[in-house]
Amino acid sequence: MTKVFIAATTPTMRAGLRALLMHTDMQVVDEGSALTNAALRLAYVDVFVLADAQLLADAAHDLSASEALALVVLSDEAQTVRLLQSLPLRGWGIVSSEASTEELEAAIKAVEQGLIVLPPALAEQQFTQRAVVDEPTEPLTTREQEVLNLISQGLSNKLIAQQLSISEHTVKFHISSLYTKLGASSRTDAVSRGARRGLITL
């Protein structure tokens, strides 16, 4: 039986997720209003389920320092994909905030096995973005440009944060944003696309 941790900001949201999983092959073993470092260290949890993308953003720093985990987020935003891609997760998935019990259960089982799960609309958007090679729809900000250059030098998020005197949490947001603007799916892809467009300076 898959053991699940539910993270949701309100008791009502947590109760709703528990109800969705009540008659499945899932066992809610713990829950909380946030995904804290202490929660991430619970060895008996197989998959973490987050009620919304903001909880993911808030936990990004702790997730980046954790061992490979499996995570499902209820979200309809493409930005969530970029943030998940930047984290060292064993498996991850996004399901719509309107997902059925069957969809949520299938996503949890898939990420537990180390797979990636996306709703059809977000998956199509990701494939479309990867196929586009023209200029970004939005120019990179000065800070995003700096982060991209440091990524191209092989610096880790921690070293980038030290170099720019910002938090690792902020670095992850900049990386997520420049991924979106460049249509990139990874650090290597971002550097490649940035180089082709003359955005990286040596």
pLDDT digit string (tens) for 162-194?
999 999 899 999 998 888 888 888 888 888 888
Domains in the chain, start-ordered, CATH in brackets?
2-119 (3.40.50.2300), 132-196 (1.10.10.10)
For the record, the structure tokens of 174 come out as 């900049």
Contact 102/94 with Cβ under 8 angstroms?
Answer: no
Among left, alpha and beta (phi > 0; psi -120 to 50; other), residue 135 is: beta
Query: Which residues partner with 4 through β-bridges?
Result: 28, 47
pTM metric for this prediction: 0.63
Sign of CA dihedral 96, 119, 181, 69: positive
pLDDT tens-digit map of 35-87: 888 888 888 999 999 998 888 888 888 888 777 899 999 988 878 888 888 88
- pLDDT confidence of residue 25: 87
